[in-house]
């Protein structure tokens, strides 16, 4: 009997587990379906990126002699569901079993598990750590801190190791990083890839079928094949890695990428492997082309954070995205979907998100995430936003970043304290505040930076939970020493701001 081999849109690697088993008699099933293209209102660039990459990947497989059954979104027989397409292809090719690689989302794992045909879900081994590896590491630990996991991964992989010691004697060089960037500093932007005929056809399809999704479809200049992704990797290694570390937390209004790699879309869709990206960074350091604090900082994002986030997602289970430890209930304000805002930092981060389907980590964490947390937005809505608007967003990596790291909605599994800051941090790390309608130095009043007001309001609202945290007690001491009138004003100004925002006024 024929077997079906399922390849999902974010499994575009030649050595993904299910494909490794494929023989020339099997049928590889790939499908553009509305169910996947609409479980959230994805950014149009994300849909176009995946559909173009899927079509090109399928064409390569066919060129190599595989039997490929590819469904386009507009095919008349398309059932518009992954499960539906598997059943349709099983009937068409008289197949009675499916080999799949475990999807990166519980929703789809469930769909495959309960399909009325035998589906073997192979572990997705495109990661450094398997589920078992992570669970073994996590078992019996009181706190699952990324830093300890990362050290184990360094030892396991040998990346940036001198024998059993970390290269340069330290595991983490973050204290050399955290520099703000100068506006006139020369930085090489990521390479741009002009759409070819296949991509242009997909762009027309996405424009016609998803006209109302948030974000600009064109210009579209992401790579959609492995060759292009490799060029993007080499470009980053040659031009940006060396300065990645010092400036990784910096933000500039007119430079959406700074020294960031913009490799997450390619890594997450399978066009690049995490191993080859980390090896390239380690080699650049060994060849004297990248300083250690940059190579280490970059490798930590992939070997540490990316693997750790995946471990948390699968360990915590399907209810993780519904967690709301701080009981935040406010609706996500319209500004997140491109509505007007007077806050220059929010306008910059959301504006480039709409244009590029990209914002770098500190913009996601310390601007849009910070604001949502301070304002008490429902984390489920925040999660849906992050899953929708970024070209690299898949639940296994987005949810622990949003629910855990950014919104503290998991009650402190990912972070030992909430990532919150007043306007001062944003001012230090960016050039946003100079152009803002609010004043970053004003602590109260109509003109006060909303981050200043909401920062204290958040801390006071959640005092019971956070004041016993040793890393936060000093902050509560500062609040207590503040003049009582000033404290009252901050809280009433914060309440007025939140009321105004919830009433739909431009803030």
| Interacting residue ranges for ligand FAD, rule: CB under 6 A | 260-264, 267-268, 298, 301-302, 305-306, 309, 360-361, 364-365, 369, 386, 390, 392-393, 397-398, 401-402, 405-406
Residues paired with residue 99 on neighbouring β-strands, in sequence order: 5, 120
9 binds, among ligand FAD, ligand DLZ, ligand SF4, none (CB under 5 to 8 A by kind): ligand DLZ
Residue 346 Cβ, how far from ligand SF4 at the closest point, in Å? Answer: 7
End-to-end C-alpha distance for the chain, whole angstroms: 63
- Within 109-182, strands assigned E span 118-122, 161-162, 165-166
Residue 493 interacts with which of ligand DLZ, ligand SF4, ligand FAD, none, CB < 5 to 8 Å by class:
none
Total number of residues that touch ligand DLZ (CB under 6 A): 17
Find, among 167, 172, 177, 181, the residue nearest to 149 by Cα.
Answer: 172
Residue 97: in which H helix or E strand, if any? Answer: strand 95-101
For residue 401, what are the contacts with CB-CB under 8 A and spacing of at least 6?
309, 364, 386
Per-residue DSSP letter, 260: -
Distance CA 401, CA 403 (A): 6
Smallest separation (angstroms) from ligand FAD to the CB of 474? 25
Q: To the nearest whole angstrom, how small is the minimum distance from the Cβ of residue 348 to ligand SF4?
A: 8
How far apart CA 77 and CA 336 sit, in angstroms, is: 37
- Of 113 and 446, which CB lies nearer to ligand SF4 in the complex structure? 446
Nearer to ligand DLZ, 105 or 431 (CB): 105
Question: Residue of minimal CB distance from ligand DLZ?
Answer: 9
Q: Which is nearer to ligand SF4, 104 or 423 (CB)?
A: 423
CB of 39 to ligand DLZ, least distance (A): 7
Nearest distance from residue 404's CB to ligand SF4, in Å?
24
Which of residues 27 and 440 has its CB atom nearest to ligand SF4 in the complex?
Answer: 440
Choose among ligand FAD, ligand SF4, ligand DLZ, none what residue 309 binds, the Cβ cut-off being 5 to 8 Å by kind.
ligand FAD
Least Å distance, CB 33 to ligand DLZ, is: 5
Spell out the residues 6+ positions from residue 488 whose beta carbon is closer than 8 angstroms to its own: none
When CB distances are held under 5 to 8 angstroms depending on the partner's kind, the choice from ligand FAD, ligand SF4, ligand DLZ, none that residue 134 binds is none
Looking at beta carbons only, is 32 or 255 nearer to ligand DLZ?
Answer: 32
What the block records as the tokens of 283 is: 């080699």
Can you give the binding site for ligand SF4, defined by CB under 6 A?
343-345, 423, 426-427, 432-433, 436, 438, 440, 449-451
Q: Are 12 and 55 in contact (CB under 8 A)?
A: no
Q: Which residues of 442-463 are buried (b: 16+ CB within 10 A; e: fewer)?
A: ebbeeebbbbbbbbbbbbbbbe
Least gap, CB of 375 to ligand SF4 (angstroms): 12
- Determine, following the binding rule CB under 6 A, whether residue 33 of this chain makes contact with ligand DLZ: yes
- Interaction with ligand DLZ in 88-127: which residues (CB under 6 A)? 103-105, 108
Q: How many CA atoms lie within 13 A of 54 on its CB side?
A: 26
Q: Which residues pair with 70 in a beta bridge?
A: 30
Interface pick for ligand DLZ out of 4, 8, 17, 69 (rule CB under 6 A): 8
Contact 98, 119 (CB under 8 A): yes
394 lies in the site for ligand DLZ, by CB under 6 A: yes
Task: Give the E-state strand segments of 289-390 in sequence order.
Answer: none
CB of 62 or CB of 495, closer to ligand SF4 = 495
DSSP 127: S
Smallest distance, Å, CB 240 to ligand FAD? Answer: 8
- State the Cα torsion 460-462-467-472 to the nearest 10°: -80
- Rounded to the nearest 5 degrees, what angle is found at the Cα of 87, between the Cα atoms of 82 and 92? 120
Residue 261 touches which member of ligand FAD, ligand DLZ, ligand SF4, none, C-beta under 5-8 Å by kind: ligand FAD
Q: Which is nearer to ligand FAD, 386 or 458 (CB)?
A: 386
Residue 30 is encoded by which pair of tokens?
Answer: 């790939």
Q: How far is the CB of 50 from ligand DLZ (least distance, A)?
A: 5
CA-wise closest residue to 5 among 20, 16, 13, 22: 22
What is the closest distance, in whole angstroms, from the C-beta atom of residue 222 to ligand FAD in the complex? 12
The SS3 assignment for 77 reads coil
Closest Cα partner for 243 from 262, 230, 260, 264?
260
Which parts of this chain interact with ligand DLZ (CB under 6 A)?
A: 8-10, 31-33, 36-37, 42, 47, 50, 82, 103-105, 108, 394
């Amino acid at each position: 009997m024929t077997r079906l081999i399922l390849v999902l849109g974010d499994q575009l690697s030649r050595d993904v587990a299910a494909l490794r088993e494929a023989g020339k008699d099997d049928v590889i099933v790939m499908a553009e379906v509305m169910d996947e293209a609409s479980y959230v209102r994805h950014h149009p660039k994300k849909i176009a990126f995946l559909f173009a990459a899927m079509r090109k990947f399928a064409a390569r497989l066919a060129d190599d002699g595989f039997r490929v059954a590819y469904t386009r979104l507009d095919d008349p027989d398309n059932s518009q569901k992954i499960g539906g397409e598997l059943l349709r292809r099983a009937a068409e090719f008289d197949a009675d079993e499916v080999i799949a690689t475990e999807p990166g989302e519980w929703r789809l794992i469930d769909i495959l598990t309960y399909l009325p045909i035998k589906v073997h879900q192979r572990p997705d081994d495109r990661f450094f750590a398997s589920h078992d590896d992570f669970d073994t590491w996590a078992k019996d630990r009181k706190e699952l801190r990324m830093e300890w996991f990362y050290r184990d991964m360094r030892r396991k992989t040998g990346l940036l190791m001198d024998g059993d010691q970390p290269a340069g004697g330290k595991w983490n060089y973050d204290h050399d990083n955290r520099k703000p960037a100068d506006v006139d500093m020369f930085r090489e932007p990521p390479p741009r890839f002009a759409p070819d005929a296949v991509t242009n056809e997909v762009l027309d399809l996405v424009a016609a079928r998803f006209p109302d999704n948030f974000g600009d479809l064109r210009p579209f200049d992401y790579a959609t094949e492995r060759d292009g992704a490799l060029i993007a990797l080499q470009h980053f290694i040659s031009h940006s890695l060396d300065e990645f570390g010092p400036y990784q937390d910096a933000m500039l209004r007119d430079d959406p990428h700074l020294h960031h790699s913009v490799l997450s879309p390619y890594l997450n869709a399978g066009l690049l492997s995490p191993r080859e990206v980390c090896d390239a960074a380690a080699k650049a350091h060994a060849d004297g082309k990248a300083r250690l604090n940059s190579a280490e900082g970059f490798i930590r994002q992939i070997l540490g954070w990316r693997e750790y986030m995946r471990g948390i997602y699968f360990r915590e289970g399907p209810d993780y995205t519904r967690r709301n430890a701080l009981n935040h209930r406010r609706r996500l304000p319209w500004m997140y979907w491109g509505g007007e805002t007077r806050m220059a930092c929010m306008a910059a981060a959301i504006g480039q998100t709409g244009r590029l389907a990209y914002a770098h980590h500190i913009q996601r964490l310390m601007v849009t995430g910070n604001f949502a947390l301070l304002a008490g937005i429902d984390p489920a809505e925040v999660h849906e936003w992050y899953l929708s608007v970024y070209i690299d967003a898949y639940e296994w990596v987005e949810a622990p970043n949003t629910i855990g790291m950014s919104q503290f909605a998991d009650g402190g599994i990912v972070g030992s304290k909430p990532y919150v800051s007043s306007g001062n941090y944003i001012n230090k790390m960016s050039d946003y505040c100079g152009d803002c309608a609010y004043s970053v130095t004003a602590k109260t009043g109509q003109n006060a930076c909303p981050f200043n007001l909401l920062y204290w309001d958040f801390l006071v609202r959640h005092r019971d939970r956070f004041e016993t945290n040793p890393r936060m007690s000093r902050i509560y001491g500062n609040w207590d020493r503040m003049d009582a009138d000033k404290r009252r004003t901050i809280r009433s100004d914060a309440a007025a701001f939140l009321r105004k925002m919830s009433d739909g006024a431009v803030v």
